[in-house]
A and B are shown apart, each in its own frame.
Chain A
Amino acid sequence: MKGLMSLVKGSVVMPKDNDSPYLLDMHKRGLQNLDRMAHYPLSEPVDLLVVGAGAGGVTLAQRLARAGWRVVILEKGPFWDPDRDWVSDEKGSHGLYWTDKRIISGSDPIEMGKNNSGVGVGGSMTHFAGYTPRFHPSDFEVRTRDGVGFDWPISYWDLKESFERLELELPVAGQDWPWGDPHSYPHGPHPIAGAASVAWKGALDCGIEMRVGPVSITNGVFGNRPHCIYRGFCLQGCKVNAKASPLITHLPDAIEHGVEVRADSMAIRVEVNETSGRCTGVTYIDSDGLERFQPADAVAVCGYAIETPRLLLNSTSARYPHGLANGTDQVGRYVMVQGATQVAARFPDELRMYKAPPPEVSSEQFYETDSSRGFARGFSLQTVAPLPIDWAQHVQSEGHWGQALREYMRDYNHWTLLGVLCELLPLAENRVTLASEKDQYGIPVANFSYSLCDNDKQNIAYATKVMEEIWNHAGAQDTLKSDRYAHLVGGCKMGFSPEDSVVDSSQRAWEVPNLFIADGSVFPTEGAANPALVIMALSDRLASLLKAKRVSRPADARKKGVLASLRR
């Protein structure tokens, strides 16, 4: 069966237990079943209250709603309708990013916003490039194998089935994957553009293999989701519904099974019962600016590596004076980013990298530790394709301005880029704390302190040399380098004991039995792969664990929700 699956590509095989692709409309991008969305009253507890409608939160909600749980999701940002809200324009896509203030500090402060933080229903995946690689088996035992970082309390094999399920649901397109645990993808590889083919040739010439994908972009019709049209604006929100985000991959089905999403609702505090120590629900500011309390039997915080720790640290009480689940001072620690240096290269022919999806070909040949390199862990290589504003920032990072900036900008169509994702190590002092400044809700904002260690610097330097070598072999006439960082994980580590972590292997807070964390903040280490698929896979696994522990409610969940709203 498995061998057959790798031959049958495209919409012949559709996901089970997720009707989202059919619940969308061929000709409209917004969700079509919002008029059927449940509304739960504030007067009685729901089964699960999720904070954050991103990769972790929506996947978890969809799975549990199918098992009969009554689930409400609070989302700080808007409920997007891609037809109405999204544009084919860099500057006009500013609203997709979390742009509320955050303080950045440390010796290598990480710039936040458009590159790493999303807001609104769908989370950061609405503007991620689309790469959805799996982690390697080694990623879960970094301490044992390499003596750095941490082991995960779960293994690759605990997530393997979740990866397979999600790759079918997104769906992921790419060539058969030779690295890590070799596997194939449900959709075949996309054609590659002239720009990416230059990188491919250069890499091959110096003995580096690349593969097309893996990207969660439809290559063929997928239910009512159309084929990619290669317009190049993946990072500005996909107006086509071809690139995956939970807004279209899981939320339509979740709503059909009784999930309520409250958009424009900012969670400000997880409330607790001082006697039992359990959480009782979440206080939030609703779309009218009013403070509300939604009671719940269980809470899942899914706000990602900055906002999840911030919410927990802001949720102080007599019982938890240092913040919720923070009795051992672990909340907010070990936040990680990936070293994402990019090297641009210039060629005689026009390449026009603004066409086709920015994520095209990638390599994991350098993913694992190689002791001859002199540092632990590794990196992956990927093509990227900045649009003009990002290209200007790339050019300026080498110090060009004035006529020199304009000259490099005019040369835009002759350039193409490679980027890396270097696995940087988790450090206790790379952490989120509360700043003295407050946001528009009067809540202290996050201060994110970040500093590189020597292993990180060696990894980035080595990876940069590999990119430069590829471009030399490809015949580049000029190169421009930009040091940058991508992705955010960690901050509420999953571990083996309350002393070393915030949550256990089932993502349950050690200190608060009905509090779960289901987002990238639970990663003990970050791998050298883009985190989206792993975040979704963790939620898929968590849902299986929770479903097994709880008997479904007898009444039809959605009907009950609707009735409840009528009573309100």
Chain B
Amino acid sequence: MPPDFREPHHLPNRRLPAQAHADPYDLPRQRRGITPQMHGRYPDYDVLEQQDHWDEVTRKLILDRVHQVPEIRFFDEAELETLTVFADLFLAQDSDPRIPVMAYVDEKLHKGELDGYQYFDMPDDRETWRRVARGLDEEARRRGADRFPLLGSDDQLDVVHDFGNGRLHGGVWDTLNVSRAWSVVTRHLMQQFYAHPWAWNEIGFGGPAYPRGYSRFGSPHLQSAEREEWEGEEAYERDPVQDTQERGLQ
């Protein structure tokens, strides 16, 4: 059974240690629009259906983001392959449809639209990305594979885990502050992933809101927040028969 989302038991900090990792595929399958991996909490909500209510400048920006995925100009092929595997692990994009995050990261680095700061013990963000790609491949070789994408999936997860805890050493990692390198690359990945309307569908975010704005945003006198008629409804239940068929499990 899918969890009741009024309760917090599905949250990583509130799970009993004995409980298995929450299975995102236990969530309702998306019925309208697209979410990454087609699961989410708002199966009948597609933020892109609201585009007629957005101002022109915003609409063009968001639709271009979805439909005009930038071509790769910054990374070479090998870097891209390694970093895409890393990015999909960090963001748990384990099946299609996937948000092509590395294309957006590549565009940001190619255009030099950086975030305005550089730690004194770190290179420029662009160089950090290249070194992380090299470092992941070096770490894979230490674990017996030629390159990071060729490493077994458990080992890949292990490497990402060690990277997140600042526990990668030797070779190119010694030229970086590993924890800060993690914060640089993961910040960029989250910026791109959660800028995408497919991710907004998954989490039930209202998206652009000009010129319409909101007139229903809850009040101290109500038990739960009010919702605009067009905002998505959180689904606690799904029809198991229909879902099994849709997912091709029978």
Chain A residues bordering chain B, tally (CB within 8 A): 78
Chain A CB within 8 A of B164 CB: yes
- Which residue among B21, B92, B199, B218 has the maximum number of chain A CB atoms within 10 Å of its CB? B218
Q: Which of B114, B191, B225 contacts A193 (CB 8 A)?
A: B225
B220 lies within 8 A of chain A by Cβ: yes
- Would you call B117 and A413 a contact (CB within 8 A)? no
CB distance from A416 to the nearest CB of B (A): 10
Q: Is A229 an interface residue (CB 8 A)?
A: yes
Binds B, one of A6-14, A82-90, A452-460: A82-90
| Interface-facing stretch out of B75-83, B127-135, B136-144, B208-216 | B208-216
A191 lies within 8 A of chain B by Cβ: yes
* A231/B213 in contact, CB under 8 A: yes
Contact among B41, B212, B224 with A410 in the assembled complex (CB-CB below 8 Å): B41
Q: State which of B54-62, B146-154, B168-176, B239-247 sits at the interface with chain A.
A: B54-62
A346 and B220 form a contact (CB under 8 A)? no
| A88-B116 in contact (CB<8A) | no
Q: A193-B217, A352-B227, A403-B92 are in contact. Are A387 and B114 (CB under 8 A)?
A: no
Q: Is the CB of A193 within 8 A of B218?
A: yes
CB atoms of B14 and A478 under 8 A apart? yes
For B5, what are the chain A residues with a Cβ–Cβ distance below 8 Å? Answer: 411, 414
A349 contacts the other chain (CB 8 A): yes
Q: Per a CB cutoff under 8 Å, which of A113, A354, A396 touches B186?
A: A396
B residues less than 8 Å from A354 (CB atoms): 205-206, 209
Quick check: is B69 within 8 A (CB to CB) of the other chain? no
Taking CB atoms, residues of chain A closer than 8 Å to B89 are: 402
Known: A101-B116, A111-B117. A349 touches B217 (CB 8 A): no
Q: Nearest chain A CB to B93's CB is how many angstroms away?
A: 9
Can you name the residue of chain A whose Cβ is closest to the Cβ of B10?
A407
Residue of A nearest to B208 (CB): A88
- B205 contacts A412, C-beta separation under 8 Å: yes
* Across-interface contacts of B91 in A (CB, < 8 A): 402, 405-406
Is the CB of B16 closer than 8 A to any CB of chain A?
Answer: no
**Which secondary structure dominates where chain B touches chain A?**
loop
Within the complex, the shortest CB–CB distance from B23 to chain A, in Å, comes to 9
Q: Identify the stretch in A68-76, A153-161, A195-203 within 8 Å (CB) of chain B at 4 or more residues.
A: A195-203
| Cβ contact within 8 Å between B208 and A113 | no
Assess the B118–A392 pair: CB atoms within 8 A. no
In the complex, whether A388 has a CB less than 8 A from a CB of chain B is yes
Q: Is A109 an interface residue (CB 8 A)?
A: yes
| B230 adjacent to chain A (CB < 8 Å) | no
Chain A 186-210 interface mask (CB, 8 Å, partner B; 1/0): 0000011111010011000000000
Assess the A230–B225 pair: CB atoms within 8 A: no
* Cβ-neighbour of A195 out of B191, B210, B218 (below 8 A): B218
Contact B117 A191 (CB under 8 A): no
**Is the beta-carbon distance between A388 and B194 smaller than 8 angstroms?**
yes
Question: Quick check: A406 and B24 within 8 Å, CB to CB?
Answer: yes
Contact yes or no, B214 A87, CB < 8 A: no
Chain A residues near B190 (CB, 8 Å)?
389, 392-393, 396, 405
Contact call B225/A91, Cβ cutoff below 8 A: no
Asked whether A51 is an interface residue with its Cβ less than 8 Å from the other chain, the reply is no
Other-chain contact of A406, B54, B92, B224 (Cβ < 8 Å): B92
Contact A101 B12 (CB under 8 A): no
Nearest to B203 among chain A residues (CB) is A412
A-B pairs under 8 A by CB, number: 237
Output the nearest chain B residue to A402 by Cβ-Cβ distance: B92
A350 pairs with B120, CB closer than 8 A: no
CA distance A177 to B223 in the complex (A): 28
* Most chain B CB within a 10 A radius of its CB, from A349, A354, A404: A354
- The answer to whether A351 and B213 touch across the interface, beta carbons within 8 angstroms, is no
Contact of B13 with A478 in the complex, beta carbons under 8 Å: yes
Within 8 A of B (CB), among A114-147: 114, 117
Task: Give chain B residues whose Cβ lies under 8 Å from the Cβ of A398.
Answer: 13
> Contact string, B170-207, partner A, CB cutoff 8 A, digits 1/0?
00000000000000001100111111000110111111
Specify the chain B residue showing the minimal Cβ separation from A86: B57
Closest residue to A479 on the B side, CB-wise? Answer: B13
Q: CB of A322 within 8 A of chain B?
A: no
CB of A291, distance to nearest CB on chain B (Å):
23
With a cutoff of 8 Å between Cβ atoms, the chain A residues found around residue B97 in the complex are none
Chain B contacts for A3, CB-based, 8 A: none
Residues 108-122 of chain B, each 1 if its beta carbon lies under 8 Å from chain A, else 0: 000001111111100
Q: Are B58 and A92 in contact (CB under 8 A)?
A: yes
Cβ of A403: which chain B residues have Cβ within 8 Å of it? 21-22, 24, 92
Query: CB within 8 Å of B: which of A357-404?
Result: 387-389, 391-393, 396, 398-404
Indicate if the CB atoms of A98 and B217 lie closer than 8 Å.
no
Quick check: is B11 within 8 A (CB to CB) of the other chain? yes
Tell me whether A87 and B61 are in contact (CB under 8 A). Answer: yes
Which residues of B sit under 8 angstroms from A104, Cβ to Cβ?
117-120
Given A84-B57, A403-B24, A407-B12, are A201 and B204 also a contact pair (CB < 8 Å)?
Answer: no
Question: What's the minimum C-beta distance from B213 to chain A, rounded to whole angstroms?
Answer: 3
Q: Whole-angstrom distance from the CB of A130 to the nearest CB of chain B?
A: 15
Is B90 positioned at the interface, with any CB of A under 8 Å from its CB? yes
User: Given the complex of chains A and B, what is the CA–CA distance between A234 and B200 in angstroms?
Assistant: 19
Q: Is the CB of A399 within 8 A of B164?
A: yes
**In the complex, chain A residues whose CB is within 8 Å of the CB of B119:** 103-105, 109
Shortest C-beta distance, A25 to chain B (Å), equals 15
- Binary CB contact string for chain A from 167 to 186 against chain B (1 if under 8 A, 0 otherwise): 00000000000000000000
Interface residue from B54, B114, B187, B218 paired with A194 (Cβ < 8 Å): B218
A91–B195 touching, CB < 8 Å: yes
Q: Write the B34-49 contact mask toward A (1 if CB under 8 angstroms, else 0).
A: 0000001100000000
- B226 interface hit (Cβ, 8 Å): yes
- Knowing A355-B217, A478-B11, the reply to whether A413 touches B116 (Cβ < 8 A) is no
- A532 to chain B: which residues have CB within 8 Å? none
| Residues of chain A from 413 to 427 with CB closer than 8 A to chain B in the complex | 413-414
Q: How far is the CB of A434 from chain B (nearest CB, A)?
A: 13
Q: Is B18 an interface residue (CB 8 A)?
A: no
Least CB distance, B129 to chain A, in whole angstroms:
16
**By the criterion CB–CB under 8 Å, are A231 and B214 in contact?**
yes
**Measured between C-beta atoms, what is the minimum distance from B38 to chain A in Å?**
13
**Is B219 interfacial (CB 8 A cutoff)?**
yes
Partner of B224, one of A89, A350, A355: A350
Q: Which of A346, A388, A393 contacts B199 (CB 8 A)?
A: A388
Closest to A100 in B: B116
B7 sits at the interface (CB 8 A):
yes
Whole-angstrom distance between the alpha carbons of A409 and B65 in the complex? 21
The 5 closest A-B pairs by CB, nearest first: A194-B218, A229-B213, A113-B116, A194-B225, A88-B208
- 30 A-B residue pairs with Cβ-Cβ distance under 8 Å, sorted by A, are A85-B57, A89-B195, A91-B65, A97-B115, A101-B117, A102-B118, A103-B120, A104-B118, A105-B120, A109-B119, A193-B217, A229-B213, A230-B217, A240-B210, A350-B225, A352-B204, A352-B206, A354-B206, A392-B193, A401-B164, A402-B89, A403-B92, A404-B12, A405-B90, A405-B190, A406-B91, A406-B202, A413-B203, A447-B120, A477-B8
For the complex with contacts A194-B222, A194-B224, A233-B210, 13 further pairs of A-B residues with Cβ separation under 8 Å are A86-B57, A87-B61, A99-B116, A105-B119, A109-B120, A114-B115, A240-B213, A352-B231, A355-B209, A393-B187, A401-B164, A408-B12, A410-B203
Chain B residues with CB under 8 Å of chain A are: 5-8, 10-14, 21-22, 24, 27, 40-41, 54-55, 57-58, 61-62, 65, 89-92, 113-120, 124, 157, 160, 164, 186-187, 190-195, 199-200, 202-220, 222-227, 231, 234
